[in-house]
Amino acid sequence: MKPIQVGLLGAGTVGSGTFRVLQRNQQEIRRRAGREIRITMVADLDTARARALVGDSAQVVSDARQVIANPEIDIVIELIGGYGVARTLVMEAIAAGKHVVTANKALLAVHGTEIFAAALEKGVMVAFEGAVAGGIPIIKALREGLTANRIEWIAGIINGTTNFILSEMRSKGLDFDQALAEAQRLGYAEADPTFDIEGTDAAHKATIMSAIAFGVPVQFDKAYIEGIAKLQAADIRYAEQLGYRIKLLGITRRREDAGAGSGGIELRVHPTLVPATRLIANVEGAMNAVVVQGDAVGTTLYYGKGAGAEPTGSAVVADLVDVTRLHTADPDHRVPHLAFQPDALHDTPILPIDEVITAFYLRLVVADQTGVLARITGILAEHEISIDAVLQRESAEGENQTDLIILTHETVEGRMTGALAKMQAVSTVLAPIVRIRKESLS
C-alpha cells in the first residue's frame, strides 16, 4: 500500500522530536497504522537546521505554502506555534483538502471553533493530542476513553514551568524570583516566561479540555486567568502547615446551579491550595497531571511529561497514526473534534469568576491586639462565609503585628470579594490581604 505522505511545518523542538520518534519506531508504527507513514517534505525558515534533521529523507523548503500546495502530501503537521501565520497556514491546508495535525494549543483555544468548522465542511480531520499536556494522552481519554461518562470536573497541572517553580519554592524555601531564575538556568523557563507564569499557557489547555468535556465551543476569551508571580514563600509555608500544597491548576467544572442560579461552566486558571494527601498535590518538578471526575468511572488521574521534544512528538505521531487509519473513512464515522457531534454542541455559558464557587485561604497581616480576630470573623459571618480553620502566628517579642490565616468553606466568589473589601478597610489590617482559592478535588 502506498505510504501516507506527511508535510512538516516547523523543525524546532517538537518538530525534531516528532521526526525522530517516527523514524526510530517506523516498524512498530507501520504495524499499528497498517501502512507506512513518511515525512517527505519539511518547511522551516532555518533550512540548514531542517536539513541537518532529515538528511536526504525529505525535501526541505523555506516556504510552508509549498508543502500545502504539494498534491502528494496527505497530512500537514503544523508546529510553528502562535496565532498568526499558523492560523493562516492551517486554514489553507484545510481548504486544500489536507488533514492537519497540530500541537498548537494557543491556536486552537482562540480559533478552534473556526478551524473545526472549516475541517468539517471539507471532510478532513484536525488532530491535536500534542496540544494539551505533551505526552499524556488526555485528549484521547476525554474524547474516547471516557465517552460513556458525564464529566463533572477536570483539574490539571498543565504547565511544567510553573509546577517546577512552585516545587522549588516549597522544597527549598525559595522566593518566587529565586525559583524562576533557577527554572531559567535549567531550561525549564524561557528568557521571557510571561506566557507560563501568568497562566496563559495553562488557560489555553484548560479551554480545550473544557470544550471536549462539556460539548461547548472553545471560549478562551471567557477564561479567568491568574498566574503565580505574586505568590509568596510565606503562603507556601503556611499552606504546608495546614496540610495543603499550592499548585497552579487549570480547572473546569459543570455547575447546575451556580451563583445566582443560572448554572454554567467554570473555566479558570489560578494558584490553588490542594490537600497534601491528593495524588495531584504530590506531582513535582516539571511534570504534568490531570484529574478527571466522571459520573460512572469516578476519579481518574493522567500523569507524565507535559512538554519536550519526544514526549510531545509521541502525541503528534499518535495523531498521525489515527489520521492514517481513518482518512478514508466516512467523515460521519470519525470521532468528532470536540467529542460531541457538531450539531449537538451546547451554548452553556462560561461563568464569570464572581459566580464561581470555591473555598479560600486568606492571609491577613494584622495588629497584634485584642478584638482583631473577632472583627474579621464577624465580617465573614455578615457575608454568610463560614470558617473551616484559623491559624495565627505567634508574635515575636516586641513585635506589634502578626499573620492571621483563615481557611473558609465554599462560598460564591463575589461574596468573598465583598467581604475582603470590608476587611481591607479595617484599620488593624496592615497590608493587602492575600486570597488563594482552595479545592478539595474529591
Dump pLDDT digits (tens) for 29-71. 999 999 999 999 999 999 999 999 999 999 999 999 999 999 9
375-405 pLDDT, tens digit each: 999 999 999 999 999 999 877 777 889 999 9
Q: Are 129 and 102 in contact (CB under 8 A)?
A: no
Domain with CATH 3.30.70.260 in the chain: 356-438
Handedness of CA 316, 95, 85, 338 (dihedral sign): negative
Domain with CATH 3.40.50.720 in the chain: 4-134+309-339
Whole-angstrom Cα distance, residue 382 to residue 329?
61
Given this model, what pLDDT does residue 442 score? 83
Q: For the domain covering 356-438, report its CATH number.
A: 3.30.70.260
The one-character DSSP state at 155 is E
Given this model, what pLDDT does residue 246 score? 98
Give the CATH fold of the 139-305 domain: Dihydrodipicolinate Reductase; domain 2 (3.30.360)
Homologous superfamily of 4-134+309-339: NAD(P)-binding Rossmann-like Domain (3.40.50.720)
Residue 272 pLDDT > 70: yes
Q: Mean pLDDT over residues 356-382, rounded?
A: 96
Given this model, what pLDDT does residue 5 score? 98
Residue 279 pLDDT > 60: yes
Across the beta sheet with 4-9, the strand order is 59-61, 37-43, 4-9, 75-78, 99-102, 126-127
* Cell representation of residue 75: 497530512
Q: Mean pLDDT over residues 416-442, rounded?
A: 97
329-338 pLDDT, tens digit each: 788 788 889 8
Q: Mean pLDDT over residues 343-347, rounded?
A: 88
Given pLDDT bands bounded at 50, 70 and 90, which one contains residue 179? very high
Residue of 375, 360, 355 lying closest to 426 (CA atoms): 375
Residue of 96, 116, 120, 119 lying closest to 107 (CA atoms): 116
289-301 pLDDT, tens digit each: 999 999 999 999 9
Whole-angstrom Cα distance, residue 4 to residue 338?
25
Given pLDDT bands bounded at 50, 70 and 90, which one contains residue 150? very high
State in Å, rounded, how far the first CA of the chain is from the last one. Answer: 50
Query: Phi and psi for 274 in degrees, rounded to 5?
Result: -125, 135
Given this model, what pLDDT does residue 396 score? 72
Whole-angstrom Cα distance, residue 176 to residue 164?
11
Domain with CATH 3.30.360.10 in the chain: 139-305
305-328 pLDDT, tens digit each: 999 999 999 999 999 999 999 887
Whether 422 is catalytic is no
Given this model, what pLDDT does residue 190 score? 92
Given pLDDT bands bounded at 50, 70 and 90, which one contains residue 149? very high
Given this model, what pLDDT does residue 262 score? 58
DSSP sequence for 404-433: EEEEE--EEHHHHHHHHHHHHTSTTB-SPP
241-266 pLDDT, tens digit each: 999 999 999 999 999 864 444 589 99
Q: Say if strands 244-255 and 264-275 run parallel, antiparallel, or are unpaired.
A: antiparallel
The one-character DSSP state at 393 is P
Burial bucket for residue 55 (CB in 10 Å: 0-12, 13-18, 19+): exposed
Helices marked H in 215-351: 233-241, 309-326
Catalytic residue among 2, 105, 140, 205: 205
pLDDT, the chain, mean: 95
